[in-house]
Structure 1
Amino acid sequence: MSNWKRFDQNEFVTSDPDSLTILLYERCLLFMKKAQKDFHSEDHKESVLNALDKAYRIVNELSMQLNKDEALPASVKDVIQSMEQDYLTAALCIEEAVHNGNLEKLDIAILTISNLLEAYREVKRRGQ
């Protein structure tokens, strides 16, 4: 295993939940951007599908992390419902890119995940 992979694996294993969530957002964006870049290469199909599969799995994982406890205040439930919708939008756009090669849909997924990442970082920065 290369030093970089060991470092990367160690970062994943030893990170706190907030850092792991940020790492998932960043990796999701990385995979989607890699798919866009690889789409224009000659042997693109396998690498694009692999990157999009990873991005899709991350979006699903992020969605599953949402706290859907019924005891939460209505305002928090509204935010969670909005986030669920954003994750669904990103997932559907990734599926569209996979099945139809529609890179414009991938732009929407990237923007959606980027916005969620920035919002998450802002909430973390404020200590909420």
Structure 2
Amino acid sequence: MAVNNPYTKYKEQSVSTATPEELTLMLYNGCIKFMNLAKIFMDEKNLEKVNINIQKAQDIINELNLTLNMDIEISTNLRQLYDYVNSRLVDANINKDKVALDDAKTIVSEMRDTWKEAIVLARKGK
């Protein structure tokens, strides 16, 4: 992509100026986007693109998992959820299993919605 592309500049700026909370929300949204794409490619029988998009979703889950602060009690529960989501993504990729993909997406969507609500509540408290 060209460096002068306005969309590329906008995306780079939005990431570089985002708060940590907003970055986490972007990661959840990206993960959901890649799972949606993987499902579309399953329907199209494009196994290469299924694999690529599920791996991108897994990369995001792994990043979220690795950045947990394990000194905080809830992180143990989040780690278990991330591990479960990752295992469902592995199942979805190996078996081209839409149910496993939907299971993973449901959990990530609920986590994203909860995170979004927490951001709103935190901003109201400021």
**What band does the TM-score fall into relative to the shorter chain?**
0.7 to 0.9
Counterpart Cα distance in 2 of 1:120 and 1:65: 15
2:25 aligned with 1:41, yes or no? no
2:82 aligned with 1:101, yes or no? no
Counterpart Cα distance in 2 of 1:65 and 1:124: 18
Q: How many residues align?
A: 120
Q: Calculate percent identity across the aligned residue pairs.
A: 25
Could you list the per-position Cα deviations for residues 6-43 of structure 1 after superposition, in whole angstroms to 9, with x for gaps in the alignment? 3222211221111100000000000000000111115x
User: Gaps spanning 5+ residues in structure 1: where?
Assistant: none
Structure 2 counterpart of 1:54, from 48, 56, 65: 56
Structure 1 counterpart of 2:106, from 106, 111, 114: 111
CA apart distance, 1:93: 0.6
CA apart distance, 1:83: 1.2
2:86 aligned with 1:86, yes or no? no
- Scaled by the length of structure 1, the TM-score of the pair is 0.86
User: Gaps spanning 5+ residues in structure 2: where?
Assistant: none
Correspondence list, 1:70-85, <5 A: 72=72, 77=73, 79-85=74-80
CA apart distance, 1:5: 2.6
Letter in 1 for 2:33: L
